[in-house]
A and B are shown apart, each in its own frame.
Chain A
Amino acid sequence: MTDAALVWLIVWGTVVGVDLIAGPQIMTSRPLVAAVVAGMIVGDVTTGAAIGLVLELFAWDVMPFGAARYPDYGVGAVVATGTAAFAPGVLGIGVAVGVGLATAQLGEWSVQGVRKLNTIDFERNIEELENGDYVVARKLHVRGFVREIFRGAALVGVGLLLGRVIRDYVPFGVQSAVAATMIAAGLAIGTGFTSGLRAIGASGPKQLWYVAGLGLGVAWVLLQ
């Protein structure tokens, strides 16, 4: 990977990290979008799409209701694509997905860290806010946004470093890489299926629609 590609990957990862919560929430933080664009940056769209597919199914597991905590799969997808780039065939994908999932998990914790810092900042300025001081509110808001930018950049940097260390220093052969890819694919399919089951719940009509879709999907696969 060239230095320019690395810089762009970090910039893109930061955008993706900020989009998750801070805004504008246009879903660049979804793994499919994040990974395909990351693939374009590193010149390997096929790998980006494969990783996006796997991690998007993982992201189906998340229902971001209320103040729920959830992994940052978008940054994970950027990191995974950067880690897998240029590995031959499917060999890089399983290992990269593992690195991406670990990064996504770190992302969940980092969001909590930023929220705690925002809380401290808020409590320090509560008197001015209670007095209706808009300038203080605006500064608080901007600082929150800047924290998210730093969080995104740091997360993608740490993730790419982790990927580099694992790729270069952990001894695993072709069979381990294939096994990791097989496990990643199985986990993604299982997670996708579980999310479908959870979405339909105990509702009769929803179950019927799900079964109809499933049947059509199976027919589609068989007819290919």
Chain B
Amino acid sequence: MMFLLAFLRSFTIQASWNLHRLQATGWSVTIEPLLRLLPGGKHGRSYRDSMARACQYFNSHPFFANFAIGAVARAELKGVEPEQVEKFRDTIKGPLGSLGDRLIWVGLLPVASSMGLLATVVVSPFVGVITFLVVFNLVHVAIRFWGLRAGLRYGFSVGKALHGRILQSSIKFGEFAAPFVVGLATPVLAEQLLSDLDVGARVAAVIVAAITVVSLRWVLPTVGAARLGTVAIGVALIIGGLWL
């Protein structure tokens, strides 16, 4: 029951993200149900001490933080020295962040997004949305669940789970699957976007696309697509308005 509560709370780990200790509050709220199992329960001295440690600085990949939460909960329940708990927490956040970034943001998200877009174009928008959500969340929810379980099972040796064959193969697979699917989707989506325009507008759109690539890649790499797009469309409308 406490495991389930901690698992569900982990979905909101970033809800109170702050500039002082980043995910600290979310971490403490997530780990709290597991700490209720300490001697004396919610009113015991060790519960309060563990909660105080739980509010210290932490930031990692939100889906992978559960590995650390489970491991720290196990250590607290086993009465490991507080210094060791804090040292572990401090050491594990970097590797977990790196693993999460590689597997989720570099691998899974582009793959799910591209598959969703392709399904939207080829089948229907509804199928596209379902494809995206199912592909992404099968992995997302599994990682949160497995992370908390592995942390509770292995404690400070949770690295064993992180070095496991399935996770490492998945990261490698994602690193190559993502470029392939993104490459596959780009021309298909481009064709779809241009299909409603007449020939002149298509040529102009391709020129805009080329200018965008040069701008975002080399000339204005820190500006970001949203700002560039807002300015470009805004300028087009203003010029169009003045013209009329």
Contact = CB atoms under 8 A, between A and B. Distances in A.
Q: What secondary structure prevails in chain B residues at the interface with A? A: helix
B189 A137 contact: no
Contacts of B180: 209-210, 212-213
B193 interface: yes
Given A36-B126, A199-B179, A210-B183, A187 B227 contact: no
A105 B227 contact: yes
Pairs A-B, 3 closest by C-beta atoms: A190-B212, A186-B208, A213-B183
A144 B25 contact: yes
A191 B216 contact: yes
Contacts of A53: 117, 120-121, 189, 192-193
B151 interface: no
Interface string B13-35: 11111111110111011001000
Nearest to A68: B105
A94 interface: yes
A48 B59 CA distance: 35
Interface string A173-191: 1011011111111111111
Nearest to A133: B51
Interface stretch (A7-15, A16-24, A153-161): A16-24
Nearest to A59: B113
Interface residues of B, number: 104
A101 B237 contact: no
B137 A27 contact: yes
Contacts of B207: 186
Contacts of A102: 230, 234
Interface of B: 11-22, 24-26, 28-29, 32, 42, 47-55, 59, 62-63, 97, 101, 105-106, 109-110, 112-113, 116-117, 120-121, 125-126, 128-129, 132-133, 136-137, 140, 175-194, 196-197, 201, 204-213, 215-217, 224-230, 232-234, 236-237, 240-241, 243-244
Contacts of A54: 193
A21 B14 contact: yes
Interface in A37-92: 37, 39, 45-46, 48-49, 52-54, 56-61, 63-67, 70-71, 73, 76, 89-90
9 contacts: A32-B116, A33-B133, A52-B120, A56-B117, A65-B105, A132-B50, A171-B244, A182-B197, A192-B186
Contacts of B187: 214, 217-218, 220-221
Contacts of A172: 237, 240-241, 244
Interface residues of A, number: 115
A6 to B, nearest CB: 21
Contacts of A58: 225-226, 229
Given A122-B21, A172-B244, A189-B189, 19 more contacts: A32-B128, A32-B132, A66-B59, A108-B226, A122-B25, A134-B28, A141-B29, A170-B237, A180-B233, A186-B208, A189-B194, A189-B206, A190-B210, A192-B186, A193-B209, A196-B182, A217-B184, A217-B187, A218-B187
A4 interface: no
A119 to B, nearest CB: 4
Nearest to B11: A24
